[in-house]
Amino acid sequence: MKLKELLIKLLKNYNLHKFKGLVHVIIVLFASAITIAFTSGNTKPENKGLTAPNVFTAENSGLPSNNVNDIYIDSANVKWIGTGAGLARFDGGEWITYTISDHLLNNKVNDIEFEFTKYGSELWIATDSGLTVAAYGIDGITSATTYVGANSGLVGNKVNSVCVDKDHNRWISTDSAISVFRGNIWDSILTGIDAWEETIKLSDVKITRVAAYDAHSMTLAATEGKGILRYSYNTVDGITGASTYATPWSSMYTDIIFDINIKGDIQWYATDTGAYKHTSEATKDDWEYFSTQTGLVSNKINTVFTDKDNNIWFGTPAGLSVFTGSNWYRYTEKEGLVNNYVNCISSDTTGNIWVGTSGGIEWFSSIPGEIVIIDNLWLPCQDMAETIKIYPNPATDLFYLKVNTNNKQAFIVTTYSTEGRCIESRTCRPTETGDVVVPFDISDKQKYPAGTYFVKINGYNIDYTVKLNKTGHGHN
Protein backbone atom coordinates (compact mmCIF):
# COMPACT_ATOMS: atom_id res chain seq x y z
CA MET A 1 0.00 0.00 0.00
CA LYS A 2 1.37 3.45 -0.91
CA LEU A 3 2.13 5.92 1.88
CA LYS A 4 -0.55 8.39 0.76
CA GLU A 5 -3.28 5.71 0.72
CA LEU A 6 -2.21 4.50 4.17
CA LEU A 7 -2.43 8.00 5.64
CA ILE A 8 -5.93 8.54 4.20
CA LYS A 9 -7.10 5.25 5.70
CA LEU A 10 -5.67 6.19 9.10
CA LEU A 11 -7.40 9.59 9.02
CA LYS A 12 -10.77 7.95 8.32
CA ASN A 13 -10.41 5.36 11.07
CA TYR A 14 -9.00 7.55 13.87
CA ASN A 15 -11.16 9.83 16.05
CA LEU A 16 -10.07 13.34 16.89
CA HIS A 17 -9.15 12.43 20.49
CA LYS A 18 -6.53 10.05 19.00
CA PHE A 19 -4.93 12.86 17.07
CA LYS A 20 -1.70 12.76 19.11
CA GLY A 21 -1.24 9.10 18.38
CA LEU A 22 -1.95 9.73 14.71
CA VAL A 23 0.72 12.45 14.60
CA HIS A 24 3.19 9.95 16.06
CA VAL A 25 2.26 7.34 13.42
CA ILE A 26 2.65 9.90 10.61
CA ILE A 27 6.09 10.95 11.91
CA VAL A 28 7.26 7.32 12.05
CA LEU A 29 5.94 6.67 8.53
CA PHE A 30 7.68 9.73 7.11
CA ALA A 31 10.90 8.82 8.93
CA SER A 32 10.71 5.37 7.37
CA ALA A 33 10.14 6.87 3.94
CA ILE A 34 13.15 9.16 4.38
CA THR A 35 15.31 6.19 5.48
CA ILE A 36 14.24 4.18 2.42
CA ALA A 37 14.94 7.11 0.12
CA PHE A 38 18.47 7.62 1.48
CA THR A 39 19.51 3.94 1.60
CA SER A 40 18.05 2.58 -1.63
CA GLY A 41 20.86 4.03 -3.72
CA ASN A 42 23.73 2.76 -1.55
CA THR A 43 23.06 -0.88 -0.79
CA LYS A 44 25.28 -3.97 -1.00
CA PRO A 45 24.89 -6.30 -4.01
CA GLU A 46 21.37 -7.72 -4.06
CA ASN A 47 22.48 -11.34 -4.48
CA LYS A 48 23.90 -11.37 -0.95
CA GLY A 49 20.46 -11.43 0.66
CA LEU A 50 21.79 -10.00 3.93
CA THR A 51 20.26 -8.41 6.98
CA ALA A 52 22.26 -5.36 8.06
CA PRO A 53 24.75 -4.95 9.55
CA ASN A 54 26.92 -7.40 7.67
CA VAL A 55 30.17 -5.53 8.25
CA PHE A 56 31.95 -5.32 11.61
CA THR A 57 34.95 -3.11 12.25
CA ALA A 58 36.71 -1.72 15.31
CA GLU A 59 34.85 1.51 14.64
CA ASN A 60 31.26 0.16 14.57
CA SER A 61 31.47 -2.84 16.92
CA GLY A 62 33.38 -4.45 19.77
CA LEU A 63 35.99 -5.91 17.44
CA PRO A 64 39.33 -5.10 19.11
CA SER A 65 41.25 -4.72 15.84
CA ASN A 66 40.44 -4.54 12.15
CA ASN A 67 43.26 -6.97 11.42
CA VAL A 68 41.43 -10.33 11.62
CA ASN A 69 43.68 -13.41 11.47
CA ASP A 70 41.24 -16.25 12.15
CA ILE A 71 37.56 -16.94 12.84
CA TYR A 72 36.18 -20.03 14.56
CA ILE A 73 32.38 -20.42 14.91
CA ASP A 74 31.13 -22.89 17.52
CA SER A 75 27.99 -25.07 17.57
CA ALA A 76 26.04 -22.32 19.37
CA ASN A 77 26.85 -19.96 16.46
CA VAL A 78 29.19 -17.90 18.65
CA LYS A 79 32.03 -16.31 16.73
CA TRP A 80 35.55 -16.47 18.17
CA ILE A 81 37.72 -13.99 16.32
CA GLY A 82 41.51 -13.87 16.50
CA THR A 83 42.94 -10.41 15.86
CA GLY A 84 46.16 -8.49 16.30
CA ALA A 85 44.79 -7.01 19.54
CA GLY A 86 43.20 -9.98 21.29
CA LEU A 87 40.51 -12.65 21.01
CA ALA A 88 36.94 -11.43 20.47
CA ARG A 89 33.78 -13.37 21.30
CA PHE A 90 30.57 -12.33 19.53
CA ASP A 91 27.26 -14.07 20.25
CA GLY A 92 25.22 -11.94 17.85
CA GLY A 93 24.55 -9.23 20.40
CA GLU A 94 27.37 -8.86 22.91
CA TRP A 95 31.09 -8.52 22.30
CA ILE A 96 33.71 -9.72 24.80
CA THR A 97 37.46 -9.27 24.30
CA TYR A 98 40.15 -11.45 25.90
CA THR A 99 43.73 -10.19 26.10
CA ILE A 100 46.92 -10.79 28.09
CA SER A 101 45.00 -9.47 31.08
CA ASP A 102 42.73 -12.50 30.98
CA HIS A 103 44.01 -15.82 29.62
CA LEU A 104 46.09 -14.91 26.55
CA LEU A 105 49.89 -15.05 26.44
CA ASN A 106 50.04 -12.50 23.63
CA ASN A 107 47.40 -10.27 22.09
CA LYS A 108 48.33 -11.37 18.56
CA VAL A 109 46.16 -14.43 17.88
CA ASN A 110 47.35 -16.42 14.85
CA ASP A 111 45.06 -19.45 14.85
CA ILE A 112 42.09 -21.00 16.70
CA GLU A 113 41.21 -24.70 16.83
CA PHE A 114 38.32 -26.49 18.55
CA GLU A 115 38.37 -29.75 20.48
CA PHE A 116 35.60 -31.48 22.41
CA THR A 117 37.03 -33.54 25.26
CA LYS A 118 35.72 -35.29 28.36
CA TYR A 119 36.10 -31.93 30.10
CA GLY A 120 33.85 -30.17 27.57
CA SER A 121 34.45 -27.64 24.78
CA GLU A 122 37.94 -26.20 24.45
CA LEU A 123 39.66 -23.70 22.20
CA TRP A 124 43.33 -24.04 21.33
CA ILE A 125 44.58 -20.52 20.73
CA ALA A 126 47.93 -19.94 18.98
CA THR A 127 49.69 -16.67 19.80
CA ASP A 128 53.10 -15.12 19.26
CA SER A 129 54.10 -16.00 22.84
CA GLY A 130 52.68 -19.48 23.36
CA LEU A 131 49.53 -21.57 23.42
CA THR A 132 46.34 -21.04 25.44
CA VAL A 133 43.80 -23.82 25.95
CA ALA A 134 40.52 -22.21 27.00
CA ALA A 135 37.47 -24.04 28.35
CA TYR A 136 34.26 -22.19 27.61
CA GLY A 137 30.53 -22.23 28.26
CA ILE A 138 27.50 -20.27 27.22
CA ASP A 139 28.81 -17.07 28.83
CA GLY A 140 32.36 -17.24 27.52
CA ILE A 141 35.72 -18.57 28.72
CA THR A 142 35.51 -20.22 32.14
CA SER A 143 39.15 -21.29 32.66
CA ALA A 144 42.39 -21.51 30.75
CA THR A 145 45.74 -23.28 30.74
CA THR A 146 48.78 -21.81 29.03
CA TYR A 147 51.74 -23.63 27.50
CA VAL A 148 55.20 -22.26 26.71
CA GLY A 149 58.56 -23.91 26.32
CA ALA A 150 59.37 -23.44 30.02
CA ASN A 151 56.35 -25.38 31.37
CA SER A 152 55.76 -27.98 28.62
CA GLY A 153 57.28 -29.89 25.74
CA LEU A 154 56.54 -27.06 23.34
CA VAL A 155 59.62 -26.13 21.30
CA GLY A 156 59.56 -22.42 20.58
CA ASN A 157 56.99 -19.97 21.88
CA LYS A 158 55.85 -18.32 18.65
CA VAL A 159 52.92 -20.57 17.66
CA ASN A 160 51.84 -20.18 14.04
CA SER A 161 49.16 -22.85 13.71
CA VAL A 162 47.38 -25.61 15.61
CA CYS A 163 45.11 -28.48 14.56
CA VAL A 164 43.48 -31.50 16.24
CA ASP A 165 43.24 -34.77 14.34
CA LYS A 166 40.59 -37.50 14.61
CA ASP A 167 42.63 -39.29 17.31
CA HIS A 168 42.78 -36.13 19.46
CA ASN A 169 46.44 -35.53 18.76
CA ARG A 170 47.08 -31.79 18.96
CA TRP A 171 49.58 -30.63 16.35
CA ILE A 172 51.30 -27.33 17.10
CA SER A 173 53.70 -25.57 14.73
CA THR A 174 56.11 -22.96 16.02
CA ASP A 175 59.03 -21.05 14.55
CA SER A 176 61.31 -23.92 15.59
CA ALA A 177 59.47 -27.25 15.45
CA ILE A 178 56.27 -29.23 15.16
CA SER A 179 54.97 -30.60 18.46
CA VAL A 180 52.29 -33.18 19.21
CA PHE A 181 50.45 -33.13 22.53
CA ARG A 182 48.41 -36.24 23.33
CA GLY A 183 46.89 -36.64 26.79
CA ASN A 184 49.74 -35.38 28.96
CA ILE A 185 52.57 -36.49 26.66
CA TRP A 186 54.52 -34.13 24.44
CA ASP A 187 56.55 -35.15 21.41
CA SER A 188 58.36 -32.84 19.00
CA ILE A 189 60.23 -33.03 15.73
CA LEU A 190 62.83 -30.48 14.69
CA THR A 191 63.35 -31.63 11.11
CA GLY A 192 61.55 -32.45 7.90
CA ILE A 193 62.32 -34.19 4.60
CA ASP A 194 62.38 -32.07 1.46
CA ALA A 195 61.58 -33.08 -2.13
CA TRP A 196 65.12 -34.39 -2.62
CA GLU A 197 64.86 -36.50 0.56
CA GLU A 198 67.33 -34.22 2.30
CA THR A 199 66.85 -33.44 5.99
CA ILE A 200 65.92 -29.82 6.69
CA LYS A 201 65.75 -27.89 9.96
CA LEU A 202 62.26 -26.61 10.72
CA SER A 203 63.85 -23.57 12.36
CA ASP A 204 65.04 -22.59 8.87
CA VAL A 205 61.55 -22.91 7.35
CA LYS A 206 58.43 -20.90 8.06
CA ILE A 207 55.47 -23.21 8.68
CA THR A 208 52.30 -21.37 7.73
CA ARG A 209 49.64 -24.00 8.47
CA VAL A 210 49.18 -27.49 9.91
CA ALA A 211 46.07 -29.41 8.84
CA ALA A 212 44.79 -32.89 9.72
CA TYR A 213 44.44 -35.18 6.71
CA ASP A 214 42.27 -37.68 8.57
CA ALA A 215 41.35 -39.73 5.48
CA HIS A 216 44.94 -40.99 5.48
CA SER A 217 45.87 -40.52 9.16
CA MET A 218 48.39 -37.81 8.34
CA THR A 219 49.02 -34.19 9.16
CA LEU A 220 50.17 -31.78 6.46
CA ALA A 221 52.40 -28.80 7.16
CA ALA A 222 52.44 -25.94 4.66
CA THR A 223 55.73 -24.07 4.36
CA GLU A 224 57.13 -21.02 2.65
CA GLY A 225 59.81 -22.56 0.46
CA LYS A 226 59.68 -26.32 1.02
CA GLY A 227 56.19 -27.24 -0.18
CA ILE A 228 53.98 -29.53 1.91
CA LEU A 229 55.66 -31.61 4.63
CA ARG A 230 53.79 -34.77 5.65
CA TYR A 231 53.81 -36.39 9.08
CA SER A 232 52.20 -39.24 10.99
CA TYR A 233 52.07 -39.92 14.72
CA ASN A 234 51.59 -42.87 17.03
CA THR A 235 52.57 -43.51 20.63
CA VAL A 236 55.17 -46.15 19.67
CA ASP A 237 57.12 -44.43 16.88
CA GLY A 238 56.28 -40.83 17.75
CA ILE A 239 56.32 -38.38 14.83
CA THR A 240 57.46 -39.78 11.49
CA GLY A 241 57.79 -38.12 8.12
CA ALA A 242 56.71 -39.08 4.60
CA SER A 243 57.60 -37.84 1.12
CA THR A 244 56.99 -34.15 0.51
CA TYR A 245 54.61 -32.51 -1.96
CA ALA A 246 57.03 -30.13 -3.67
CA THR A 247 58.65 -29.26 -6.98
CA PRO A 248 59.74 -30.89 -9.18
CA TRP A 249 57.94 -34.11 -8.20
CA SER A 250 54.46 -32.80 -7.47
CA SER A 251 52.40 -30.87 -10.01
CA MET A 252 52.64 -27.62 -8.10
CA TYR A 253 54.79 -24.94 -9.70
CA THR A 254 55.83 -23.46 -6.38
CA ASP A 255 56.98 -24.48 -2.91
CA ILE A 256 55.46 -21.44 -1.19
CA ILE A 257 52.20 -22.54 0.44
CA PHE A 258 50.09 -20.23 2.62
CA ASP A 259 47.07 -22.34 3.56
CA ILE A 260 45.52 -25.81 3.37
CA ASN A 261 41.85 -26.78 3.31
CA ILE A 262 40.88 -30.45 3.50
CA LYS A 263 37.45 -32.03 3.13
CA GLY A 264 37.49 -35.81 2.94
CA ASP A 265 40.13 -36.77 0.39
CA ILE A 266 40.09 -33.40 -1.39
CA GLN A 267 42.87 -30.98 -0.52
CA TRP A 268 43.10 -27.35 -1.62
CA TYR A 269 46.38 -25.47 -1.40
CA ALA A 270 46.70 -21.68 -1.39
CA THR A 271 50.02 -20.57 -2.89
CA ASP A 272 51.84 -17.62 -4.39
CA THR A 273 51.14 -18.86 -7.93
CA GLY A 274 47.44 -19.76 -7.63
CA ALA A 275 45.35 -22.55 -6.12
CA TYR A 276 45.88 -26.29 -6.43
CA LYS A 277 43.32 -29.04 -5.98
CA HIS A 278 44.58 -32.51 -5.08
CA THR A 279 42.25 -35.51 -4.88
CA SER A 280 44.48 -38.27 -3.49
CA GLU A 281 47.63 -38.78 -1.43
CA ALA A 282 49.72 -39.50 -4.55
CA THR A 283 52.64 -37.12 -4.93
CA LYS A 284 52.64 -36.93 -8.71
CA ASP A 285 49.05 -37.47 -9.81
CA ASP A 286 45.53 -36.08 -9.36
CA TRP A 287 46.35 -32.37 -9.35
CA GLU A 288 44.41 -29.48 -10.87
CA TYR A 289 45.63 -25.89 -11.14
CA PHE A 290 43.65 -22.62 -10.96
CA SER A 291 44.91 -19.11 -11.66
CA THR A 292 43.78 -15.69 -12.83
CA GLN A 293 43.49 -17.28 -16.27
CA THR A 294 40.70 -19.53 -14.97
CA GLY A 295 38.90 -16.89 -12.90
CA LEU A 296 40.83 -16.06 -9.71
CA VAL A 297 41.09 -12.41 -8.77
CA SER A 298 44.80 -12.87 -7.86
CA ASN A 299 47.40 -15.61 -8.16
CA LYS A 300 48.53 -15.04 -4.59
CA ILE A 301 46.07 -16.89 -2.35
CA ASN A 302 46.14 -16.18 1.39
CA THR A 303 43.43 -18.63 2.42
CA VAL A 304 41.00 -21.19 0.98
CA PHE A 305 37.73 -22.56 2.39
CA THR A 306 35.10 -25.12 1.31
CA ASP A 307 31.49 -24.35 2.30
CA LYS A 308 28.62 -26.80 2.94
CA ASP A 309 27.63 -26.72 -0.74
CA ASN A 310 31.23 -27.43 -1.80
CA ASN A 311 31.74 -23.95 -3.19
CA ILE A 312 35.39 -22.97 -2.87
CA TRP A 313 36.17 -19.54 -1.40
CA PHE A 314 39.59 -17.97 -2.00
CA GLY A 315 40.91 -15.04 0.00
CA THR A 316 43.61 -13.00 -1.71
CA PRO A 317 45.38 -9.63 -1.26
CA ALA A 318 43.18 -8.35 -4.10
CA GLY A 319 39.76 -9.50 -2.88
CA LEU A 320 37.55 -12.58 -2.74
CA SER A 321 36.98 -15.27 -5.38
CA VAL A 322 34.38 -18.06 -5.29
CA PHE A 323 34.32 -21.14 -7.52
CA THR A 324 31.06 -23.10 -7.69
CA GLY A 325 32.42 -25.86 -9.90
CA SER A 326 31.03 -24.22 -13.02
CA ASN A 327 31.21 -20.45 -12.44
CA TRP A 328 33.64 -18.00 -10.87
CA TYR A 329 32.59 -14.97 -8.82
CA ARG A 330 34.71 -11.98 -7.91
CA TYR A 331 34.09 -9.61 -4.99
CA THR A 332 36.48 -6.75 -4.22
CA GLU A 333 36.40 -3.30 -2.65
CA LYS A 334 35.06 -2.07 -5.98
CA GLU A 335 31.95 -4.23 -5.50
CA GLY A 336 31.66 -3.43 -1.76
CA LEU A 337 34.11 -5.68 0.14
CA VAL A 338 35.18 -4.10 3.43
CA ASN A 339 38.88 -4.63 2.59
CA ASN A 340 40.66 -6.41 -0.26
CA TYR A 341 43.24 -8.17 1.92
CA VAL A 342 41.43 -11.35 2.96
CA ASN A 343 43.09 -13.37 5.75
CA CYS A 344 40.56 -16.02 6.76
CA ILE A 345 37.15 -17.49 5.86
CA SER A 346 34.71 -19.50 7.99
CA SER A 347 31.08 -20.64 8.04
CA ASP A 348 28.44 -20.37 10.76
CA THR A 349 25.77 -22.93 11.73
CA THR A 350 23.25 -21.52 9.24
CA GLY A 351 25.69 -21.57 6.33
CA ASN A 352 26.57 -17.87 6.31
CA ILE A 353 30.17 -17.19 5.28
CA TRP A 354 32.33 -14.96 7.50
CA VAL A 355 35.33 -13.30 5.89
CA GLY A 356 38.12 -11.79 7.97
CA THR A 357 40.23 -9.08 6.35
CA SER A 358 42.82 -6.50 7.30
CA GLY A 359 39.97 -3.99 7.50
CA GLY A 360 37.37 -5.90 9.53
CA ILE A 361 34.79 -8.64 8.96
CA GLU A 362 32.08 -9.07 6.37
CA TRP A 363 29.57 -11.92 6.24
CA PHE A 364 27.42 -13.28 3.42
CA SER A 365 24.31 -15.43 3.21
CA SER A 366 24.94 -16.17 -0.48
CA ILE A 367 27.75 -15.84 -2.99
CA PRO A 368 28.60 -12.14 -3.41
CA GLY A 369 30.03 -10.12 -6.24
CA GLU A 370 30.04 -10.42 -9.99
CA ILE A 371 30.32 -13.50 -12.17
CA VAL A 372 33.64 -13.60 -14.01
CA ILE A 373 33.24 -13.48 -17.78
CA ILE A 374 35.93 -15.75 -19.11
CA ASP A 375 35.77 -14.89 -22.81
CA ASN A 376 38.84 -12.69 -22.50
CA LEU A 377 40.76 -15.34 -20.58
CA TRP A 378 41.24 -17.60 -23.58
CA LEU A 379 43.67 -15.40 -25.46
CA PRO A 380 46.66 -17.48 -26.58
CA CYS A 381 50.21 -16.25 -26.02
CA GLN A 382 51.61 -15.89 -29.54
CA ASP A 383 55.23 -16.41 -28.42
CA MET A 384 54.32 -19.97 -27.40
CA ALA A 385 52.61 -20.83 -30.67
CA GLU A 386 55.84 -22.31 -32.06
CA THR A 387 56.53 -24.53 -29.03
CA ILE A 388 53.00 -25.89 -28.44
CA LYS A 389 50.95 -27.59 -31.15
CA ILE A 390 47.67 -29.54 -31.22
CA TYR A 391 46.96 -31.85 -34.13
CA PRO A 392 44.87 -32.88 -35.91
CA ASN A 393 42.58 -29.92 -35.47
CA PRO A 394 39.69 -30.48 -36.15
CA ALA A 395 39.91 -33.85 -34.41
CA THR A 396 37.55 -36.82 -34.16
CA ASP A 397 38.37 -39.41 -31.48
CA LEU A 398 41.95 -38.41 -30.68
CA PHE A 399 44.24 -35.40 -30.69
CA TYR A 400 47.92 -35.00 -29.89
CA LEU A 401 49.54 -32.28 -27.84
CA LYS A 402 53.13 -31.50 -28.79
CA VAL A 403 55.16 -29.39 -26.36
CA ASN A 404 58.79 -28.43 -26.86
CA THR A 405 60.34 -28.10 -23.41
CA ASN A 406 63.87 -27.39 -22.23
CA ASN A 407 63.26 -28.87 -18.78
CA LYS A 408 61.50 -31.82 -17.21
CA GLN A 409 58.99 -29.81 -15.21
CA ALA A 410 55.47 -31.25 -15.06
CA PHE A 411 52.65 -29.37 -16.76
CA ILE A 412 48.87 -29.66 -16.48
CA VAL A 413 46.55 -29.92 -19.47
CA THR A 414 42.90 -29.02 -18.88
CA THR A 415 40.02 -29.15 -21.35
CA TYR A 416 37.15 -26.64 -21.06
CA SER A 417 33.84 -26.08 -22.75
CA THR A 418 33.25 -22.72 -24.40
CA GLU A 419 31.21 -21.77 -21.29
CA GLY A 420 34.31 -22.27 -19.13
CA ARG A 421 33.25 -25.60 -17.58
CA CYS A 422 36.23 -27.78 -16.72
CA ILE A 423 35.83 -31.18 -18.41
CA GLU A 424 39.00 -32.97 -17.31
CA SER A 425 42.55 -32.28 -16.25
CA ARG A 426 45.72 -34.31 -16.72
CA THR A 427 49.26 -33.98 -15.41
CA CYS A 428 52.05 -34.63 -17.92
CA ARG A 429 55.59 -35.41 -16.79
CA PRO A 430 58.32 -35.18 -19.42
CA THR A 431 61.07 -37.79 -19.04
CA GLU A 432 63.41 -35.89 -21.33
CA THR A 433 63.81 -32.44 -22.83
CA GLY A 434 62.83 -31.51 -26.37
CA ASP A 435 59.58 -32.44 -28.07
CA VAL A 436 57.01 -34.15 -25.83
CA VAL A 437 53.97 -35.66 -27.59
CA VAL A 438 50.92 -36.60 -25.49
CA PRO A 439 47.80 -38.31 -26.94
CA PHE A 440 44.34 -37.31 -25.66
CA ASP A 441 41.28 -39.50 -26.09
CA ILE A 442 38.12 -37.48 -26.83
CA SER A 443 36.02 -40.33 -28.22
CA ASP A 444 33.45 -40.23 -25.39
CA LYS A 445 30.51 -38.42 -27.03
CA GLN A 446 28.80 -37.69 -23.70
CA LYS A 447 31.89 -35.95 -22.38
CA TYR A 448 33.00 -34.53 -25.72
CA PRO A 449 30.09 -34.02 -28.14
CA ALA A 450 30.94 -32.39 -31.45
CA GLY A 451 31.78 -28.73 -30.98
CA THR A 452 34.45 -26.28 -29.86
CA TYR A 453 36.69 -26.69 -26.79
CA PHE A 454 39.61 -24.92 -25.18
CA VAL A 455 42.75 -26.83 -24.23
CA LYS A 456 44.75 -25.03 -21.58
CA ILE A 457 48.37 -25.87 -20.75
CA ASN A 458 49.81 -24.62 -17.45
CA GLY A 459 53.29 -25.25 -16.16
CA TYR A 460 56.59 -23.66 -15.27
CA ASN A 461 56.86 -20.69 -17.66
CA ILE A 462 53.90 -22.10 -19.63
CA ASP A 463 50.45 -20.52 -19.77
CA TYR A 464 48.84 -21.21 -23.12
CA THR A 465 45.36 -21.92 -24.49
CA VAL A 466 44.46 -23.49 -27.83
CA LYS A 467 41.03 -23.73 -29.43
CA LEU A 468 40.13 -27.29 -30.47
CA ASN A 469 37.29 -28.28 -32.80
CA LYS A 470 35.81 -31.76 -32.62
CA THR A 471 33.86 -33.17 -35.54
CA GLY A 472 30.99 -35.61 -35.20
CA HIS A 473 32.54 -38.40 -37.27
CA GLY A 474 34.19 -40.39 -34.48
CA HIS A 475 33.41 -43.91 -33.33
CA ASN A 476 31.68 -44.10 -29.93
- If asked whether residues 320 and 394 sit together in one domain, one would say no
Q: 41 pLDDT exceeds 50?
A: no
- If asked whether residues 136 and 12 sit together in one domain, one would say no
**Which range, of 14-28, 35-49, 154-168, 316-330, averages the lowest pLDDT?**
35-49
What span, in angstroms and rounded, lies between the C-alpha atoms of 178 and 277? 25
- If asked whether residues 83 and 220 sit together in one domain, one would say yes
In this structure, are residues 67 and 86 in contact, taking their beta carbons and an 8 Å threshold? no
Q: 169 pLDDT exceeds 90?
A: yes
Say what the pTM is: 0.74
* Paired strand residues for 360: 357
In a domain, 258, yes or no: yes
- If asked whether residues 238 and 93 sit together in one domain, one would say yes
**Which range, of 156-170, 212-226, 430-444, averages the lowest pLDDT?**
430-444
In this structure, are residues 398 and 471 in contact, taking their beta carbons and an 8 Å threshold? no
In a domain, 476, yes or no: no
Mean pLDDT, rounded, of the chain: 85
**In the listed set 330, 351, 371, which residue is the last one of a domain according to the structure?**
371
Summarised one tens digit per residue, pLDDT across range 317-370 is 999 999 999 899 999 999 999 999 999 999 999 999 999 999 999 999 999 998
Q: What pLDDT is recorded for position 464?
A: 83
The SS3 of residue 22 is: helix
Summarised one tens digit per residue, pLDDT across range 104-152 is 999 999 999 999 988 899 999 999 999 999 999 999 999 999 999 999 9
- If asked whether residues 360 and 416 sit together in one domain, one would say no
**In the listed set 371, 390, 407, which residue is the last one of a domain according to the structure?**
371
In a domain, 124, yes or no: yes
What span, in angstroms and rounded, lies between the C-alpha atoms of 29 and 14? 16
In this structure, are residues 114 and 135 in contact, taking their beta carbons and an 8 Å threshold? no
- If asked whether residues 223 and 177 sit together in one domain, one would say yes
- Residue 461: pLDDT band (50, 70, 90) is low
- If asked whether residues 192 and 299 sit together in one domain, one would say yes
- The tally of domains found in the chain comes to 3
Q: 79 pLDDT exceeds 90?
A: yes
List the CATH number of the domain containing 414: 2.60.40.1930
In a domain, 47, yes or no: no
Of all helices (H) and strands (E), which one includes residue 5? helix 3-13
Residue 428, domain extent: 375-470
In a domain, 33, yes or no: yes
**DSSP at 375:** G
In a domain, 48, yes or no: no
**In the listed set 343, 371, 399, which residue is the last one of a domain according to the structure?**
371
- If asked whether residues 171 and 305 sit together in one domain, one would say yes
- If asked whether residues 272 and 157 sit together in one domain, one would say yes
Summarised one tens digit per residue, pLDDT across range 380-392 is 444 566 678 899 9
- If asked whether residues 29 and 134 sit together in one domain, one would say no
- If asked whether residues 160 and 63 sit together in one domain, one would say yes
Q: What pLDDT is recorded for position 42?
A: 29
- If asked whether residues 18 and 58 sit together in one domain, one would say no
Q: What pLDDT is recorded for position 284?
A: 82
Q: What pLDDT is recorded for position 92?
A: 94
Average pLDDT over residues 5-32: 38
